[in-house]
Amino acid sequence: MKKTLCILLFLTGAAASQAAEDSALVKASKASGGAKKKTTKKAITNADVKKSGGKLTQLPPGSGKATPAATSNEPPKSSLTKQDEDRRATAAASKRLAAAETKVKDLEGELARVEQMYYEAMDPNYRDNTIKPRFDQTKQQLDDARKELADARDALKKVAPKS
């Protein structure tokens, strides 16, 4: 009988002391219903879709509108890869611009030199038959180089980061 009484007193004392120690937060959590049920996460597969009762239309491969990600076999590019490609494109465009500027500068100097030769030559036959065609050729090359320079500047503007 002593054992039963001790256990009974112990249990009632524990319950009484527990009720006295519960704070408002503990009481609120007990009142909310205890632990929440865990959600079941499952990936939806093609088999699950086919089992469903909804209407399913299967298109043959390659028909209809395809997303850009579906058409390319490459994985999406990371931001570092994009930055690296942009930097390389900018460097290539800058190099092309520098080469075009150098070519224009050299041809302008050559044209000035040929023009000076024209005025210094005393033989009109030499001027008309030798120097004039060379001048025309150099002038045509200079015009083409200026077009390349303009194209290089446009290409650099397209790939250069916007400030």
Q: What is the pLDDT of residues 15-71, one digit of tens each?
A: 545 555 778 877 777 777 766 667 778 888 888 877 777 776 777 777 665 555 555
- Evaluate whether 139 touches 115 at the Cβ level (below 8 Å): no
Report if pTM > 0.75: no
Residue with tokens 């865990």: 38
Give the model confidence (pLDDT) of 134-143 as tens digits. Answer: 999 999 999 9
